[in-house]
Amino acid sequence: MKLFYSPGACSLGIHVLLEETGAAFEPVACNVREGANRTPAFLAMNPKAKVPTLLRDNGHVLTEYPAIAVYLARTNPHAHLLPTDPDAEAEVLEAMDYIVATVHMQGFTRIARPANFAPAHTTPSEADIEAVKTRGREIFAAGMDLFEARLQGRDHVAGDAFSVADATLLFVENWAVRAGYTLGPNLAAHFARMKARPAVQRAFASEGLTL
Ligand SMILES: N[C@@H](CCC(=O)N[C@@H](CS)C(=O)NCC(=O)O)C(=O)O
């Protein structure tokens, strides 16, 4: 198996989950800031030009963070990454989807890549860029506030154990800290709890990130 990741990108969450499973895999750097996701070779594998991309040993290419996370959880039941109880599973999937689809894609992407929200082949004005970033900060902050409240009195995002949702919250916590956003006390404690996990430490080291 090969994981195509960009250092510190959302693929970090999948990198952590792979480390949690103990499965054999090869991390392959695909730096999106340098355009490595737009090379003909990468586009031939994943025309969406996105990381995470998981290339399985049978040649099948799996994309979309939640699909990869559930696949890893279901193929590695010993790692207990996703509860089997339907209520607990729904809670984990709800949290993961909100983080990926809203906090990341609607929020942080507006802050980091505001030009993505302008029509293709146009140059947005400075005012348009600022407006997009402002909306992104609002969505991102609302998401972080929601998890700050949800983590009150609990160690993990959902249920009472580590799950795919915790690895997902980890990558936005990491972005938040690097962007100068102050984590609330519950998020800060969760981030510290995540960084104490050997699998997280291995993924950070592998991507050349400081803990
Ligand atoms: N919906 C995708 C989103 C993945 C995504 O947007 N990844 C970013 C990195 S955090 C990316 O590859 N961006 C490259 C680009 O937009 O050029 C998923 O869930 O995997």
Query: pLDDT, tens digit, for every residue of 34-93?
Result: 999 999 999 999 999 999 999 999 999 999 999 999 999 999 999 999 999 999 999 999
Is there a contact between 3 and 62 (Cβ–Cβ < 8 Å)? no
80: nearest Cα among 155, 160, 173: 160
Does residue 210 carry a pLDDT above 90?
A: yes
Nearest CA to ligand 1 atom 12: 50
Task: Report the SS3 class of residue 97.
Answer: helix
Residue 51 near ligand 1, beta carbon < 6 Å: yes
Residues 6+ apart with CB under 8 A from 171: 9, 10, 12, 13, 104
Give the domains, in start order, of the chain with CATH numbers. Answer: 2-79 (3.40.30.10), 86-197 (1.20.1050.10)
Helix axes 11-21, 164-178, angle to 10 degrees: 140
Of 92, 61, 58, the residue nearest 74 (C-alpha): 92
pLDDT above 90 for 159: no
Contact between residue 175 and residue 108 where contact means Cβ atoms under 8 Å apart: yes
50 lines ligand 1 (CB under 6 A): yes
Ligand 1 neighbourhood includes 30 CB (under 6 angstroms): no
SS3 2: strand
> Reduced to 3 states, what is the DSSP secondary structure of residue 76?
coil
Asked whether residue 132 carries a pLDDT value surpassing 90, the answer given is yes
Please tell me the residue having the least CA distance from ligand 1 atom 18: 64
| Residue 87 DSSP SS3 | helix
The 8-class DSSP code of residue 62 comes to E
Determine the pLDDT at residue 25. Answer: 98
User: What spacing in Å lies between the alpha carbon of 207 and ligand 1's midpoint?
Assistant: 17
pLDDT at 50: 97
pLDDT at 24: 97
Give the pLDDT score at 160. Answer: 85
Q: Which atom of ligand 1 is nearest to the CA of 11?
A: 10
| Residue of minimum CA distance from atom 5 in ligand 1 | 50
In this prediction, residue 65 carries a pLDDT of 98
Helix-strand-coil split of the chain, %, nearest 5: 60, 5, 30
Q: Is the model's pLDDT at 151 over the cut of 90?
A: yes
- What letter would DSSP give residue 181? P
Mean pLDDT of the chain: 97
Q: Is 105's pLDDT higher than 90?
A: yes
Ligand 1 proximity of 49 Cβ (cutoff 6 Å): yes
CA distances from 5 to 65, 102, 139, 153, 206 (A): 11, 21, 25, 33, 11
Q: Is the CB of 4 under 6 A from ligand 1?
A: no
* pLDDT tens, residue by residue, 171-206: 999 999 999 999 999 999 999 999 999 999 999 999
Burial 179-198, CB ≥16 within 10 A → b, else e: eebebbebbbebbebbeebe
| Cβ of 37 less than 6 Å from ligand 1 | yes
